[in-house]
Amino acid sequence: MNKTTPSNPLEFSIRGIVLGILITLIFTAAQVYLGLKVGLTFATSIPAAVISMALLSAFKDATIQENNIVQTIASAAGTLASVIFVLPGLLMIGWWTKIPFWPTFGACAVGGVLGVMYTMPLRRALVSQSNLPYPEGVAAAEVLKVGTASRAGAKEGKAGLWAVIWGAVASALFAFLAAARLIAGEVAHFVKFGGGATGLGASSSLALVGAGHLMGITVGIAMAVGLAIAWGVLVPLLTSWNPMPDASVADHATTIWRTQVRMIGAGTIGAAAIVTLATLVKPVVGGLQSALAASAHAKNGGADIPREDRDLPIFLVGLVTLLSMVPAGWLLASFLQGGPLSELSLPLVAVGVGYILIAGMLAAAVCGYMAGLIGSSNSPVSGLAILTILGAAATVGFVGRHVMGPETSQALIAYALFVTTVVLAVAVIGNDNLQDLKTGQLVGATPWKQQLALIIGVFAGSCVVPPVLELLNHANGFAGAPNANAISDQPLAAPQATLISTLAKGVIGGDLPWHLVGYGALLGLGLVAINYLLKASSNGRLSLPPLGVGLAIYLPSAVTAPVVVGAVAGYFFEKAVHGKSYGEAASRLGVLIMSGFIVGESLFNVALAGLIVLSGKGEPLAIANSMGESTTMLIALAVGAAVVSGLYRWSASSARRCEA
């Protein structure tokens, strides 16, 4: 492809595109599993950049810009997988029994392409001419610069690849021990509390520990507060008020959490999300105005525009956006075809396309701004999904109000979920696009080539989401779904999809427990006020993100407790290496170890799902043993602590060697 010159460095290459696609396929599969298990995904840019640098260092003509294209393609995996926050809801309401390939691929691909198109005009205003911090984009650029700048950087690049490998192998082996029943899959303890009950569980998952490290101590503390509110206050109180004499202590506590506390958590998330998004209205509108002004002053033809400032032509952006409405409309019409809403296809498709066009544009702008403000991983995508499903359900419900009945109600809920899937894909790829463009700006990349690279990543990721989702559906199924074809009796929690589908059913069917949601909303507003006071009194040094607290109330403690452990462990590791000559390198290697934890465990469990399907056994790796539950819990704690502390020490010693 293009030759390397000082003014035109090698960016697109066959090897780079192939490598980027391969990393995308692997990371997307891992992200789908992680999102279904815990309701969280992680940014894939940094581990992708490290893998790219280590592998492409074998070629003398490899450039930092070429490595940047690889991470841009692969970054789609970290965001596009977020559509699984909605799609399993179609199984939960009984609309689908399995995941069809083409509708799922189409929703991901159309939404992803629109996400790139919608945020392209925002690049100058929100990236080039903005002082937004873009924490993950800057971090990825720093990793690329360090890895390609010097001999020490090359050594760190190789150490980084080994960090990802060791983390992946360790977490895969740990997950194997749990699958073999040699360690407990969950460490939990429940107790009577007055007239009620409470307790706490923690999944034996290095992936969750890794996610906590990546999220950081601020989010970790917020989740710890959420755990304390849910299991230290709400569950004991509500179990006391709602006795279940025939149930065990564990069943009593978990039933009350699932039926009541979780709805309070949903209200907390919703209120916190609305307030968070409301604070962004002014800067987003200002950013849009600035983008339009910048476009108006841009020179025609682009001949005199520096390479580092060239986007795809604006007429092409508009044309692709309009043309994308054709497959979007076809997807929506196909979804309704032959169902109880066939007679309303025309108005429903028109409303759906309009909603994707307008809500998608707003969601992409908001998400893009939030990526610059707080980073892709911390962006409150779940809050945006809540607002999107509420808007879609209300709009679709209004169109179909005169044909409401049991069958049509289910069809309207399903249609609202499908429309939301497309809008969510728009939002998360828009989020990712601006983050990548910031990385590109810092390493001298060409914007239009990055935008094209992200579209390649979108199509690669869109090919992986449907088959992996269906594999997990067939092997495990999802909590709250009929799971008639599932082999294992251990369904994946799919917490975000549960919330989104519950809200859709509540808005269209009118059976949402609004009083519990309302209590949660009041709690969310209180947390927003506390966060504001904390920031004001500490000059911005301290904060308590309300969305983090709400998520910890809503998500199972088995998910959030290991995340808190990972955040605290990461904090002490960062503190231990801070100020040392090799401290920054050790910190980067620690991030890569934790990314490896997520990838290794997730890929192992996707492979395990394949084994479940092939063998027809729910637990194909289980090994009979005489160890009691308490013994396997202790072993899980001891092995997990040894692996995490050992790999932290490896990170520090490897960084020291790189700096020598």
539 C-beta neighbours (distance < 10 Å), count: 7
Give me the pLDDT at residue 396, please. Answer: 86
601 phi-psi bin (left φ>0, alpha ψ -120 to 50, beta other) = alpha
Task: Give the integer Cα–Cα distance in Å for 318 and 324.
Answer: 10
Task: Give the integer Cα–Cα distance in Å for 94 and 317.
Answer: 38
Give me the pLDDT at residue 496, please. Answer: 81
Give me the pLDDT at residue 299, please. Answer: 46
Check whether 493 has a pLDDT greater than 90: no
* H-state helical runs in 375-494: 381-399, 406-443, 447-475
Give the chain's end-to-end CA distance (angstroms, integer): 38
The three-state DSSP-derived secondary structure of 266-307 is: HHHHHHHHHHHHHHCHHHHHHHHHHHHHHHHHCCCCCCCCCH
* 92's tokens: 């939960």
Residue 606's alpha-carbon distances to 264, 555, 560, in angstroms, are 32, 22, 21
* Residue given tokens 């509708």 in the structure block: 103
Check whether 398 has a pLDDT greater than 60: yes
* 415's tokens: 């249609």
Q: What is the DSSP code (8-state) at residue 183?
A: S
- Judge contact between 395 and 355, C-beta under 8 A: yes
Which has the minimum average pLDDT: 72-81, 102-111, 354-363, 629-638? 72-81
Residues 468-480 pLDDT 10s: 999 999 999 998 8
Give me the pLDDT at residue 526, please. Answer: 95
Task: Give the integer Cα–Cα distance in Å for 553 and 110.
Answer: 34
Task: Give the integer Cα–Cα distance in Å for 249 and 191.
Answer: 6
Quick one: CA dihedral 589, 593, 599, 600, positive or negative?
Answer: positive
* 363's tokens: 């969601």
Residue 286's alpha-carbon distances to 258, 380, 476, 594, in angstroms, are 42, 21, 46, 37
Check whether 405 has a pLDDT greater than 70: no
Give me the pLDDT at residue 133, please. Answer: 74
Which has the minimum average pLDDT: 130-144, 203-217, 445-459? 130-144
CA 312 to chain centre: 27
* 651's tokens: 């990170």
* Residue given tokens 């609309």 in the structure block: 95
Task: Give the integer Cα–Cα distance in Å for 116 and 461.
Answer: 14
Check whether 1 has a pLDDT greater than 60: no
Residue 373's alpha-carbon distances to 15, 126, 377, 390, in angstroms, are 33, 10, 11, 25
Residues 126-148 pLDDT 10s: 777 767 777 778 888 887 887 67
Long-range interactions of 246-255: CB distance < 8 A, separation 24+: 249/190, 249/191, 249/192, 249/197, 249/199, 250/188, 250/190, 250/197, 250/199, 252/196, 252/197, 253/190, 253/196, 253/197, 253/198, 253/199
φ, ψ dihedrals at 189, nearest 5°: -150, 130
Query: Pick from 362, 377, 370, 379: which is nearest to 423 by CA?
Result: 362
Q: What is the arithmetic mean of pLDDT over 263-267?
A: 88
Give me the pLDDT at residue 629, please. Answer: 78
515 phi-psi bin (left φ>0, alpha ψ -120 to 50, beta other) = alpha
Q: What is the arithmetic mean of pLDDT over 635-644?
A: 93
Q: Percent of the chain having pLDDT more than 70? A: 90
Task: Give the integer Cα–Cα distance in Å for 431 and 336.
Answer: 30
* Residue given tokens 């999944």 in the structure block: 203
Which has the minimum average pLDDT: 161-170, 286-295, 417-426, 513-522? 286-295
Residues 529-571 pLDDT 10s: 999 999 899 887 888 888 889 888 988 888 889 989 999 999 9
Helices (H) and strands (E) in the chain, counts: 25, 2
Query: Pick from 335, 455, 451: which is nearest to 24 by CA?
Result: 455
Residues 6+ apart with CB under 8 A from 30: 77, 598, 599, 602, 603, 606
- Judge contact between 553 and 258, C-beta under 8 A: no
Quick one: CA dihedral 397, 400, 404, 406, positive or negative?
Answer: negative
pTM of the model: 0.84
- Judge contact between 446 and 308, C-beta under 8 A: yes
Q: What is the DSSP code (8-state) at residue 412?
A: H
Burial class (CB in 10 A: 0-12, 13-18, 19+), 58: exposed
305 phi-psi bin (left φ>0, alpha ψ -120 to 50, beta other) = beta
Amino acid residing at 156? E
* 659's tokens: 């700096």
Check whether 358 has a pLDDT greater than 70: yes
Task: Give the integer Cα–Cα distance in Å for 564 and 567.
Answer: 5
* 336's tokens: 């309704």
